[in-house]
């Protein structure tokens, strides 16, 4: 019978096919029952029929918080992922929330408040947190607000309130919160945590940087599995802030001076003034805009209910020292003639003062642009959103809600203007990429030619070697040839 060598091409081919079949079979066994989605479950969507053994190896949160890209920001909270659930902790409040994907087993072995995510019903105690819901596409999930809705600026949320989709869980007559509303989570401040259902205490006001505060959009996003949307919002704001700050630095370098800025407000009941103290969030933004905060070492001359206030005479001395004055409240009309000493701005901007309290906190890049154009009007052409220069009309929020918000599901309208060098930077990046690609082609082309020639040479030598081997085998297998001798005269037949 014919035998086949174990090193023959036919056997090698069969072995490769068998290995492929085994690999496919083992892979099928390994992934059987696993749930590996390509994006997070949102809009209340739950996992269905996930076996416990498969759940142990599944990753139900492929879109995660990108904390590693911003290590210098918020350190008060952090989140860790564990396949079917995530753990949100806060170092300040010592809270621990276990957010498990709905449809999976409740991780009882984990300590903390258990919340099935994504949630679909949320409430808030502050207008400051309202933009967070809008930024991640969860306007309709806001079901209650525990204060007076007259303080809200967002036309889309006011429209939902008008149409009965959001309740005002608050009685203005008694200044009391009605905690009977239904919510999976109430995003609350520390003052109201005891009177609202299912509170999660936000600690944004305890952060020491405006960009740390921005990251609380991700805290809200975690409860909705909206990490991807929160990451995008944060990146947009941070990039805008950094770009504007860099542009201001160039202007300051050319001007070779910074602006003296007084940050203050007037309290009519005390007939006194507050003055900035640093470090603080407004000091950070003023400095990023090219300003130096005017501070006072004087002792306040006014006392109101035991609290110190600066007198008008004391403030006037500081105004005369300043280039720009910023008031975080409406500027008193009796002091409007102080504009002869400095440029004065208050918070009665485009959409009124309520917009300052609602969105200035979560869009510090917009405030930075407002300050940049206030400090350097010749260098920047931003439209101010929060600040009003004295003499301009007082801003008002839009009252025609259907016109201001034709679609409540529309994406959030970030207020910042494009950074002046953003297009140039993109163009430079394109040029660098094209240049890099062109250089790469120039290097790859001769390399490919050389490799092709080397491959041809190797093929030629291999065929030459195979041909020589076949020739040698043929010669070796031929029968031996009888030995012959040349004839001589002695070998010839004798002549008869």
* DSSP per position, 14-79: HHHHHHHHHHHHHHHHHHTT----SS---TT----S--HHHHTT--S--S---GGG-TTS--SEEE
Half-sphere exposure of residue 83, counting CA atoms within 13 Å on the CB side? Answer: 14
Q: Is pLDDT above 80 for 463?
A: no
β-strand pairing of 307-309 with 302-304: antiparallel
Max mean pLDDT among 373-387, 411-425, 448-462, 476-490 falls in 373-387
What's phi and psi for 21, nearest 5 deg? -65, -40
Q: What is the pTM of this model?
A: 0.78
Q: Is pLDDT above 60 for 34?
A: no
* pLDDT tier, 52 (very low <50, low <70, confident <90, very high otherwise): confident
* pLDDT tier, 21 (very low <50, low <70, confident <90, very high otherwise): low
Q: What is the mean pLDDT of residues 51-68?
A: 82
Instruction: Give the tens place of pLDDT for each residue, 264-293.
Output: 999 999 999 999 999 999 999 999 999 999
Q: Is pLDDT above 60 for 394?
A: yes
DSSP type of residue 188: E
Task: Round to whole Å and give the CA distance between 258 and 251.
Answer: 10
Mean pLDDT across the chain, nearest whole number?
85
Please give the pLDDT value at position 20.
53
Q: Is pLDDT above 80 for 70?
A: no
End-to-end CA distance of the chain: give it in Å, rounded: 60
- Cβ 341 vs Cβ 315: under 8 Å: no
Q: Is pLDDT above 50 for 5?
A: no
Least confident of 128-142, 157-171, 478-492: 478-492
Q: Is pLDDT above 70 for 436?
A: no
Task: Round to whole Å and give the CA distance between 416 and 364.
Answer: 9
Q: Is pLDDT above 50 for 404?
A: yes
Residue 76's nearest CA partner among 234, 223, 227, 207 is: 207
Please give the pLDDT value at position 55.
73
Task: Round to whole Å and give the CA distance between 426 and 428.
Answer: 5
DSSP type of residue 177: E
Task: Round to whole Å and give the CA distance between 229 and 414.
Answer: 13
pLDDT over 90, % of the chain:
72
H or E element: which one contains 439? Answer: helix 422-477
Instruction: Give the tens place of pLDDT for each residue, 324-344.
Output: 999 999 999 999 999 999 999
Which residue(s) pair with 201 in the sheet? 188
* pLDDT tier, 253 (very low <50, low <70, confident <90, very high otherwise): very high
Please give the pLDDT value at position 451.
62
Instruction: Give the tens place of pLDDT for each residue, 352-392.
Output: 999 999 999 999 999 999 999 999 999 999 999 999 999 99
Number of H helices, E strands in the chain: 13, 19
Residue 240's nearest CA partner among 248, 228, 230, 250 is: 248
């Amino acid at each position: 019978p014919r035998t086949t060598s174990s090193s023959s091409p036919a056997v090698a081919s069969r072995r490769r096919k068998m290995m492929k079949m085994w690999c496919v079979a083992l892979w099928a066994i390994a992934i059987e029952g696993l749930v590996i989605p390509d994006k997070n479950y949102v809009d209340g969507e739950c996992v269905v029929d996930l076996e416990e053994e498969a759940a142990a190896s599944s990753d139900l949160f492929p879109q995660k918080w990108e904390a590693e890209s911003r290590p210098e920001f918020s350190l008060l909270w952090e989140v860790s992922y564990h396949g079917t659930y995530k753990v949100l902790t806060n170092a300040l409040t010592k809270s621990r929330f276990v957010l498990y994907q709905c449809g999976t087993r409740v991780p009882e072995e984990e300590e903390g408040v258990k919340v099935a995510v994504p949630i679909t019903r949320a409430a808030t105690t502050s207008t400051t947190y309202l933009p967070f819901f809008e930024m991640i596409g969860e306007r309709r999930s806001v079901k209650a607000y525990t204060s007076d809705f007259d303080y809200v600026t967002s036309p889309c949320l006011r429209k939902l309130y008008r149409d009965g989709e959001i309740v005002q869980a608050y009685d203005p007559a008694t200044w009391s919160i009605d905690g009977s509303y239904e919510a999976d989570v109430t995003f609350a401040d520390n003052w109201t945590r005891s009177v609202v259902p299912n509170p999660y205490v936000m600690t944004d006001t305890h952060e020491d940087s405006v960009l740390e505060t921005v990251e609380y959009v991700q805290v809200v996003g975690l409860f909705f599995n909206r990490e991807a949307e929160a990451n995008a919002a944060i990146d947009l704001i941070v990039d805008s802030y950094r770009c504007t700050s860099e542009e201001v630095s160039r202007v300051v370098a050319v001007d070779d001076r910074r602006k003296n800025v007084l940050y203050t407000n007037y309290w009519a009941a005390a007939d006194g003034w507050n003055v900035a103290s640093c470090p603080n969030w407004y000091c950070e933004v003023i400095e990023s805009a090219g300003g130096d905060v005017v501070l006072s070492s004087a002792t306040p001359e006014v006392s109101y209910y035991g609290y110190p206030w600066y007198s008008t005479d004391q403030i006037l001395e500081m105004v005369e020292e300043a280039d720009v004055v910023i008031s975080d409240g409406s500027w008193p009309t009796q002091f409007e003639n102080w504009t002869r000493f400095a440029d004065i701005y208050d918070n009665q901007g485009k959409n009124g003062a309520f917009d300052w309290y609602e969105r200035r906190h979560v869009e510090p890049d917009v405030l930075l642009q407002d300050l940049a154009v206030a400090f350097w009007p010749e260098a920047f052409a931003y439209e101010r959103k929060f600040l009003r220069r004295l003499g301009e009309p007082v801003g008002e929020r839009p009252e025609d809600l259907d016109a201001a918000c034709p679609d409540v599901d529309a994406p959030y309208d970030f207020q910042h203007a494009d950074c002046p060098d953003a297009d140039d930077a993109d163009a430079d990046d394109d040029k660098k990429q094209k240049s890099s690609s062109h250089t790469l082609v120039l290097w790859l082309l001769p390399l490919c030619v050389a490799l092709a020639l080397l491959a041809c040479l190797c093929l030629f030598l291999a065929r030459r070697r195979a041909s020589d081997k076949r020739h040698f085998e043929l010669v070796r297998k031929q029968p031996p040839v009888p030995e012959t001798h040349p004839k001589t005269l002695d070998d010839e037949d004798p002549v008869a």
